[in-house]
A = this chain, B = another copy of it.
Amino acid sequence: MTLLNRQLYLESRPEGVPNEKNVRMRSVSLSRPGPGQVLLQNLYLSMDPAIRGWMSDKPSYMPPIALGEVVRSSTLGRVVESRHPDFQIGDIVVGLAANGWEDFSLTAGEQLDHIQPYSRFPLSHYLSVFSAVGLTPYFGVLDIGKPKQGETMLVSAAAGAVGSLAGQIAKIKGCRTVGLVGSDEKCRWIVEELGYDYAINYKTSENLAKTIAEVCPNGIDCYFDNVGGEVLDAALLNMNNFGRVVFCGAIAQYNTEQPVPGPFNYWQILARSLTVRGFISPEFKDRFGEGIEEMSTWIADGRLIFAEDIVEGLENTLDAFSRLFTGANRGKLMVKVRDPSEPAPTIEEIRAAAREPTHV
């Protein structure tokens, strides 16, 4: 049997949530690494809203995915062949936005990071809480939001992977935490399980700005924003002078092809002397070790709870991805492409199956 690489590639640019016409599957021969490259077998794919952004052709912090290209993704995988001196067969690696929705990725070694897994945590944690999705709220809250004891921190998409951690980290730092979520069930979850002080269901609030004002009588010192749009507008009307807005995401606008206006209350940034700071986690790459170390302590102590929502099978990736935009997921959404306990292909099998090395 010949080893094939199943790939999900971008056939056309989506309008709204991507569907099977936009993202299609093909099977191609394995490619073998050229100099400096590593061939890895993907074990887990990370489902991130940012991927939706790369599918459109508007400018962002990464170039768009070209039509015909495999959908770019962060993945966790194991090395099955290496022509980079730092990587050996069997190494577990993570590539942040460096790999793709496919069984095997061929990646420059420079774009991969080694994982030294603690045995006490599941391997998937290294693509979630110990990767961008955890390091984003860690540095976003601590270094951008700079919360002080006793301040009020508001978090949108508070039941999402990033938001659920942001609130807990702010709480550990002594803040009063208020989360915005889209269902009563999520309200209960973030308060009872995650320890948020208060939760607001923004979908059932008739006047969100007023509801926030009632729940935050002392105003908001820091708003950790994952959604943008109307929720941001409501938050801006409740910010304290010199408050900080940590601009981490704007999921509300990822699926529209129309130009999306910024907040109607943008003026409040001036009126209240606010700081709005956008960021992505690679800014703090040099300090990832520090973040993983501290969060692993919090998790081990039971102070930080992190949920994963793992879908099985590469063929279910598009379904899984679409759940990001319906609010149907609970915790960090990943696709398990292959179980880590199953054997990796041997170098002989790869040699037999693969095309000649790709020269890059």
Contact = CB atoms under 8 A, between A and B. Distances in A.
Interface of A: 59-61, 228, 237, 241, 247-250, 253, 259-280, 283
A266 B250 CA distance: 10
B237 A59 contact: yes
A280 B269 CA distance: 11
30 contacts: A59-B271, A60-B267, A60-B271, A61-B270, A61-B273, A247-B269, A247-B270, A250-B266, A250-B270, A253-B267, A259-B264, A260-B264, A260-B267, A261-B261, A261-B262, A262-B263, A262-B264, A262-B265, A266-B266, A269-B278, A270-B278, A270-B280, A271-B278, A273-B280, A274-B277, A274-B278, A275-B275, A275-B276, A276-B276, A276-B277
Contacts of A253: 267
Q: How many copies does the complex hold?
A: 2
Contacts of A263: 261-262, 266
B277 A275 contact: yes
B276 A269 contact: yes
Q: 9 smallest A-B Cβ distances: which pairs? A: A262-B262, A261-B261, A262-B266, A270-B278, A269-B278, A276-B276, A262-B263, A61-B271, A259-B264
Nearest to A228: B266
A248 B262 contact: no
Nearest to A261: B261
Nearest to A266: B262
A259 B233 CA distance: 11
A238 B275 CA distance: 20
A259 to B, nearest CB: 5
Contacts of A270: 61, 247-250, 278-280
Nearest to A260: B264
B280 A267 contact: no
A59 B264 CA distance: 13
Contacts of A237: 59
A332 to B, nearest CB: 20
